[in-house]
Structure 1
Amino acid sequence: MNYSTPYSGSIENPVFSEHRLSIGLTLPLLRRGEIVADFHEQLKLAELADTLGFRALWIRDVPLNSADYPDPVGHLDPWVFLGALASRTQRIAFASGAIVLPLRHPLHVAKGALSVSALSGGRFILGLGSGDRPHEYAAFGKDSGERRELFRRHWEIVAAAVGSSARVIPDHAPPDAAEFTLLPRGTREIPMLAVGSGGQSVDWIARNAIGWMTYHRDPDVQRSRHSMWLAAVNRLHTPAFRAFGVAMQLELSAHAETPATALPLGYSTGRHALVRSLQDMRAAGTHHVSLNLSSERPVRDVLEEIAAHVLPEFHEGRGSE
Structure 2
Amino acid sequence: MTASENTLASSSIANAVFAQDKLSIGITLPITRGNESIVDFNEQMAIARLADQLGFRALWVRDVPLNSIDYPDPVGHLDPWVMLGALASNTERIALISGAIVLTLRHPLHVAKGAISVSELSQGRFILGVGSGDRPPEYAAFGRDPDERRDLYRQHWATLAAAVTVPSRVIPDHAPEGAPEFYLLPRQNASIPMLAVGSGGQSVDWIARHSLGWMTYHREPQAQRGRYSMWRAAVDRAASGAFRAFGVAMRLDLGNDANEPATDISLGYRTGRRALVALLHEMRESGTHHVTLNIASERRPARGIIEEVAAYVLPEFHR
TM category, shorter: over 0.9
Alpha-carbon distance between aligned partners in 1 of 2:157 and 2:288, rounded to the nearest angstrom = 24
Structure 2 residue aligned with 1:301: 304
Question: Displacement, 1:96?
Answer: 0.5
Question: Structure 1 residues 46 and 195 mapped into 2: Cα distance closer, same or farther (>3 Å)?
Answer: same
Residues 23 and 290, structure 1, Cα contact 8 Å, conserved in 2: yes
CA deviation string 1:293-321 (max 9, x = no partner): 002201111110000000000001xxxxx
Q: Secondary structure at the match of 1:313?
A: helix
- The within-5 A match list for 1:121-132 is 121-132=123-134
CA deviation string 1:37-94 (max 9, x = no partner): 1011101110011001110000000011111110000000000000000001000001
- The within-5 A match list for 1:158-173 is 158-173=160-175
User: Which amino acid is 1:29 matched to?
Assistant: I
User: Which amino acid is 2:314 matched to?
Assistant: L
Q: Do residues 312 (structure 1) and 315 (structure 2) align?
A: yes
What TM-score, normalized to structure 1? 0.95
Question: Structure 1 residues 44 and 237 mapped into 2: Cα distance closer, same or farther (>3 Å)?
Answer: closer
User: Which amino acid is 1:302 matched to?
Assistant: I
- The within-5 A match list for 1:269-308 is 269-295=271-297, 296-308=299-311
Structure 1 residue aligned with 2:3: none
User: Which amino acid is 2:41 matched to?
Assistant: F
Alpha-carbon distance between aligned partners in 1 of 2:239 and 2:82, rounded to the nearest angstrom = 39
Q: Secondary structure at the match of 1:151?
A: helix
Q: Secondary structure at the match of 2:117?
A: helix
What TM-score, normalized to structure 2? 0.95
Question: Structure 1 residues 237 and 255 mapped into 2: Cα distance closer, same or farther (>3 Å)?
Answer: closer
The alignment covers a number of residue pairs equal to 308
- The within-5 A match list for 1:1-321 is 10-295=12-297, 296-316=299-319
Q: Secondary structure at the match of 2:249?
A: strand
Q: Secondary structure at the match of 1:194?
A: strand
Alpha-carbon distance between aligned partners in 1 of 2:176 and 2:188, rounded to the nearest angstrom = 29
Alpha-carbon distance between aligned partners in 1 of 2:154 and 2:238, rounded to the nearest angstrom = 19
Large movers: runs of 4+ above 2 Å: 31-35, 236-239
Alpha-carbon distance between aligned partners in 1 of 2:238 and 2:199, rounded to the nearest angstrom = 18
Question: Displacement, 1:238?
Answer: 5.0
Percentage of pairs with the same residue: 68
Alpha-carbon distance between aligned partners in 2 of 1:101 and 1:261, rounded to the nearest angstrom = 35
Q: Secondary structure at the match of 2:307?
A: helix
Structure 2 residue aligned with 1:6: none
Q: Secondary structure at the match of 1:29?
A: coil
Question: Displacement, 1:237?
Answer: 4.7
CA deviation string 1:163-193 (max 9, x = no partner): 1231000000112110011111221100000
Q: Secondary structure at the match of 1:11?
A: helix
Q: CA RMSD in A?
A: 0.9
Alpha-carbon distance between aligned partners in 2 of 1:244 and 1:24, rounded to the nearest angstrom = 14
Q: Secondary structure at the match of 1:58?
A: strand
User: Which amino acid is 1:138 matched to?
Assistant: A
Structure 2, gaps ≥5 residues long: 1-10
Residues 166 and 188, structure 2, Cα contact 8 Å, conserved in 1: no
Residues 24 and 291, structure 1, Cα contact 8 Å, conserved in 2: yes
User: Which amino acid is 2:42 matched to?
Assistant: H
Structure 1 residue aligned with 2:7: none
Alpha-carbon distance between aligned partners in 2 of 1:135 and 1:63, rounded to the nearest angstrom = 12
Q: Secondary structure at the match of 1:247?
A: strand
Residues 31 and 293, structure 1, Cα contact 8 Å, conserved in 2: no
